[in-house]
Amino acid sequence: MVRIQSSRSKINGTVRCPSSKSYSHRAFVISSLAEGQSIIKNPLYSRDTLATISSCRALGALIRQDNNILNVNGGHDFRAPDDVINADNSGTTIRLMTSIASLVKSGSTVLTGDESLRKRPMQPLLDSLNELGVRAFSTKEDGAPPLVVMGGGIKGGSTVLDGSLSSQFISSLLISCVYADSNVMIQIKGDQVSRPYIESTIETMKAFGVSVHNEEFKEYLLQPTWYKPTIFSVPADLSSAALMLSAGLLIGEDVTVIGIDFSLPQADSDIVSIIGGMDGQIQVDHIKGEIRVQGTERLSGGEFNLSDSPDLLPVVAILALKARSPVKITGIGHARLKETDRVANIASQLTKLGATIKEDKNGLLISAPKTLKNASLESFNDHRLFMAFTVAALLTNKSTVAGVESVEVSYPNFIQDLTGLGAKLKPTVDRE
């Protein structure tokens, strides 16, 4: 395994934010369902999004990659794939494709992924699909992949879905139930997490000509219709921008992230108000699409509910390392069901740096140490943990972080962008 070795650094300059992983997934899938040719501009090509492209191709979409353009000839007259659909490590891919696989005219589809993905919960989505007339099940009968989805289409009707585990189940149904035989009503029980990701889904559907009747994120009505091919530009990824902004605050002098499109909803736009709430120096230019931060010796503590933006958990956790008073992070129980148990893993690794952490089922309380310790940090092959821990490690004299390979999931140029700003990072082989 390759580790990244860090030395205490100061960064300065401008970095262009990569394209949104969430919007890339949605645009690839919906354009594959639209009858005709669509053009996706500024797509993100990463390990996760390439899994979605591969999955759409397996069901018959004709997709051609051309640098910053993705040409998609789609339709919903899908055939059963020749092989299993392998979503690799991507929870978004397998959840979106599970519903789409039900649109196969005849035959069945098997969907699986890597070891981590085969532990991710899928039962709520399977239950809803079965209620809507689809035969779908887990091969191990444990609610996790591998999955089998029988073709023949979505009949329609109504279903009740628990919103407390993941927004991806709802996004999956919304995207696919457009092609149901009759109206579909989706009712949500419990507290809906990650609502902005559902907004992203609805906005992308709208760009392809389909409207969703949404009652306060508690009830959705879909009527049979068709997606229309279009030209769609993927906005910048505020999840990735948040990591660079945290680096600018923690180890920066003056750092600007450019290329941000504020016109489409993104959950991680909350990073702007969070940084402001911690008394960080931040300037936002909506017209230019830029966010500028300046480094600081100390931030303020406070309480932050991340139920709508769980991907900001690693970012807020490392910002807490420079807070004068404790930082309480709540609403993150569903972050335990991501690529890894991010709540427990953040607690274990930041403790190595000297932080005092209290962990409960749904949150963390982080108190910064007077002096950060050097540490050998594990990322558990989780891309967001690796990137956050790498930024934190740059506050120490000499630390290492394992799992550099994981950045291919969402931000392949992460190390290059950080070193381009002046971060002192170099690979080192883990000989254990």
Query: What's the CA gap between 353 and 221, in Å, rounded?
Result: 49
Find the mean pLDDT for residues 259-288: 92
d(CA 186, CA 173): 8
Q: What is the pLDDT of residue 430?
A: 60
C-alpha dihedral (318, 322, 328, 332), degrees to nearest 10: -10
Q: Which residue has the tokens 């140490």?
A: 369
The token duo for 58 is 């397996």
Give the per-residue pLDDT at 431: 53
Q: Within 10 A of 71 (CB to CB), how many other CB atoms are there?
A: 14
- pLDDT more than 70, % of the chain: 99
Q: How many CB atoms lie within 10 A of CB 85?
A: 27
∠ CA 280-286-290, nearest 5°, is 60
Q: Tell me the per-residue pLDDT of 392-410, one tens digit each, with 9 for 90 and over.
A: 999 999 999 999 999 998 8
Q: Which residues are catalytic?
A: 311
Q: Residue 236 has what DSSP assignment?
A: B
Comparing 90-104, 220-234, 330-344, which segment has the lowest mean pLDDT?
A: 330-344
Q: Is the pLDDT of residue 432 over 60?
A: no
DSSP state of 372: P
CA angle 410–390–47, rounded 5-degree value: 15
What's residue 406's pLDDT? 93
Beta strand pairing call for 376-377 and 398-402: parallel
Reported as a single tens digit per residue, the pLDDT across 281-338 is 999 999 999 999 999 999 999 999 999 999 999 999 999 999 999 999 999 998 898 7
How many angstroms separate the Cα of 39 from the Cα of each of 27, 34, 266, 336, 376?
A: 9, 11, 21, 36, 44
SS3 content of the chain, % helix, strand, coil (to 5): 35, 25, 40
The stretch 167-194 carries a mean pLDDT of 95
CA 403, CA 415: separation in Å to the nearest integer? 12
Domains assigned to the chain: 2-18+236-429 (3.65.10.10), 21-225 (3.65.10.10)
pLDDT score, position 107: 95
How many Å apart are CA 61 and CA 326, to the nearest integer? 50
Q: Nearest 5°: phi and psi at 16?
A: -90, 130
The answer to whether the beta carbons of residues 261 and 290 sit under 8 Å apart is: no
Residue 1: predicted pLDDT: 66
Q: In whole angstroms, what is the distance from residue 6 CA to residue 425 CA?
A: 5
**With left for phi above 0 and alpha for psi between -120 and 50, is residue 346 left, alpha or beta?**
alpha
149 - beta bridge partners?
Answer: 109, 136
Indicate the pLDDT class of residue 350, thresholds 50, 70 and 90: very high
State yes or no: pLDDT of 429 exceeds 80: no
What pLDDT does 264 receive? 86
Whole-prediction pTM: 0.89
pLDDT tens digit sequence for 130-154: 999 999 999 999 999 999 999 999 9
Instruction: Identify any residues that bridge with 219 across adjacent strands, giving them in sequence order.
Output: 187, 215
Q: Could you report the per-residue pLDDT of 185-195, keeping only the tens digit for each?
A: 999 998 888 89
pLDDT exceeds 60 at position 220: yes
Comparing CA positions, the residue from 102, 144, 139 lying closest to residue 123 is 144
- pLDDT tens for residues 7-22? 999 999 999 889 999 9
Nearest to 230 by CA among 257, 206, 264: 206
Report in angstroms the alpha-carbon separations of 168 from 4, 158, 162, 224. Answer: 32, 18, 11, 21
Q: How many CB atoms lie within 10 A of CB 163?
A: 23
Q: Tell the burial category of 156 from Cβ atoms under 10 Å away from its Cβ (0-12, 13-18, 19+).
A: middle
In whole numbers, what is the pLDDT of the chain averaged over residues? 94
CA separation for the pair 121, 114 (Å, rounded): 14
